[in-house]
Amino acid sequence: MKITIMTVGKLKEKYLKQGIAEYAKRLSAYANIELIEVPDEKAPENLSAADMEIVKQKEGERILAKISPDTYVITLEINGKQLTSEQLATHIDQLATYGKSKIAFIIGGSLGLGSEVIARSDYALSFSKMTFPHQLMKLVLLEQIYRAFRINRNEPYHK
């Protein structure tokens, strides 16, 4: 299985880079992991609603350019479905069972995801109704995917 984690923007924080590298290394025993960062669109703080949509559209074009047609896309969205770790494990296992060998998890930039990316999504996943920094979500997501593989193989992992 090939799992791609795609984020908008460059990761700068060393502590997040270290955690992400650790979970990517752990996950590599279970799947082919690809981490992709697409450039964020430079924009001032006080954007109009129309300008925000333009920014999300441009970032969305960069995201969609990196997704092949046969990839199952899971977007992280605040209004997506909330799952337990066990339910996420089951979902990933079912995708593999039904021949979905390429999965891409998409984390938008600070303004969220554009409508074109949301339309391309096969599944909207939410970790919480709270808002988190998108780069921190990358670490949390990797940990949960690693946990899912451990659950699916009945391997021990702290609860």
In degrees to the nearest 10, what's the CA dihedral of 86, 33, 98, 120? 100
Identity of the amino acid at 48: S
Q: Whole-angstrom Cα distance, residue 8 to residue 97?
A: 30
The residues that bridge with 112 in the sheet, in sequence order, are 109
Output the six-digit token pair for 151.
């659950």
Residue carrying the six token digits 């333009």: 54
Angle ∠(4,80,29) on CA atoms, nearest 5 = 30
**Which residues are annotated as part of the binding site for S-adenosyl-L-methionine?**
76, 108, 127-132
Backbone dihedral angles phi then psi of residue 111, each to the nearest 5 degrees = -95, -5
**Which residues are annotated as part of the binding site?**
76, 108, 127-132
Q: What is the DSSP letter of 30?
A: T
CA atoms within 13 A on the CB side of 91: 19
